[in-house]
Structure 1
Amino acid sequence: MSKPALLRLHRWITLVFALPLLAIIVTGLILSVEPLVQTSGIGGPAIEAGRVVELMKRYDPDGKARGLSINAASRRITLQGTNVPAIDLSSGEAASTGSTLSDVFLWARFTHERLMGQAWLVTASTLAMVIILLLGIVMGLPRLRNTLSGWHKATAWFTLPLILLSPLTGLCMAFGLTFQSGAPPAATGRPLALPDATRMVAASHELSHVISIGTRGGRMMARLYDGGELRAYAVTSSEVTALPRNWPRLIHEGNWSALIASPLNVVTSIALLTLLSTGLLIWARRTLRKRRPRADGPAGAAVVGAG
């Protein structure tokens, strides 16, 4: 396939998926800073397991909650799967207002993973992004110039490992590829009750480092920061065991090291946003440039004829 044909395909795929790609990239940029925000709150005062369990039993006496989220920065817990608002750990009362930043992250995550409630659209757009990048690679090394097109190409080539790794790991997550070094332990029996799971996690880890505890895939799991890395643990009545790392998720979400990966993801998102915006601007300028002579042609001919 000739280079003009590759460029045309590169351009049209971008135009077709421009809006969903914009939404995915912008929400990805927002989520890039989430690990930094989460780790900034884990160095605060300790959170007592007894206090958390007490509040769980007060606000969820029937034990209907399927999970627990802990926001160490704002000193709040949220019972997932219930209509109970966030609970303030200090006062023990339901928070009158939600955490704006947490709400933004929640919206961004839902949009990023299920754009307009359509997970397939996210997967298709991510696949389109990979194809667009591969077409750019196949077209060969560019001539770097101080033009809009030159900056577009320079951004792509200088950040290529980052901007290619991001959608590839996203596709791995979408298709369930984990590259785990070992199989996770099989879930046995009924999952541990949420209050009991909270006590088990608190016995071996500081609760201020915990992001969530809840049932997933038939087992009770906890997600918590350990040495700057967000790890998943299986929680049973006898032990809390670290699960094998899901490398595509760790890399994509920047949870392998909040201090390093989070800024890298910000750079990746800005680069992708730059590529999308400059690419659309280049197309718009070329389209208008082609149409302008046609629009001016009849008028020019009329002037000549009148002369």
Structure 2
Amino acid sequence: MELLGLHHVSILTGKAEDNYRFYTKVLGMRLVKKSVNQDDTTSYHLFYGDAKGNPGTELTFFDIPMLARTHPGVSSISATSLRVKDTEALQFWKQRFDEKRVEHGEITQRAGRETLAFEDTEGTKVILVADNGETGVEPGEAWETEEIPKQHAIVGLGPVTLTVADLKPTEKVLTGLMGFTHVGSYPSLISETLPDIEIYATGKGGTGAEVHLETRPDLPKERIGRGGVHHVAFRVPDEKEYDVWAERIQQARIPNSGKVDRHYFKALYFREPNGILFELSTDTPGFDVDEPIESLGENLSLPPFLEPDREEIEAKLRPLDLS
């Protein structure tokens, strides 16, 4: 039994409209689900992914208007990656970012791969990573737009970077509890005096299945706000294995949410020792359980247990102009 890789990454936004325009119009991702935060139904929850909303391709955003900015630090998911096909795609994106005035760095090697770091409109740190024929977790299916050719489109999630004050407790959970394997390291791009960034992989490995651990004892603890990453979720193939994982987390005496039915997937949440929120999520049933793939994200989707309250929920939601 092993986790298959990354399932989704959830981030906070204070401006859902700007967020939508950036991730769909600039990055060319597909809005695959427009729903509500099931724990606070007065707030929207937007999901962006590949052409079919496959697990392992989604960035999700909780909309919290007027949210304060994030103060970076440790105990954080400090960077998220998105996969593209090759270095040629990175060159396309570098030119596009120049044209769209998106803050970005240069094409740089990280963990032996060509990468391009940039920031969204709220300061979320994102890294494009080129697969360049690497084997491992399969990419998603590119969503083609008028401005972004299919061969350059984003095809899934790449490695997440966790920044911690002390690596060992997090490493112990990743390898001892969650079954990750240490597969290498690479130098910090910030300073050569900082410890190397350690790489852990699960499942088939590759860009869609890695966690990178950065040790920064010099930093304060993060104060999360807009643009900050709320949690990272890892893929469990089905509900049968999900039940086993739930029991495993419980037996390890790790405080957790217990089983949570999100309708589109089953979830279980817990914090690793440095305080970063992890989620285990099933691949099934998927985002097409309540609307056809052809029309994903076009209407407000509610899980069956919230559907009876649709009228009340819609009345409390602010108008959302996704155009």
State whether TM-score is above 0.5. no
Decide which structure has greater helix share: 1
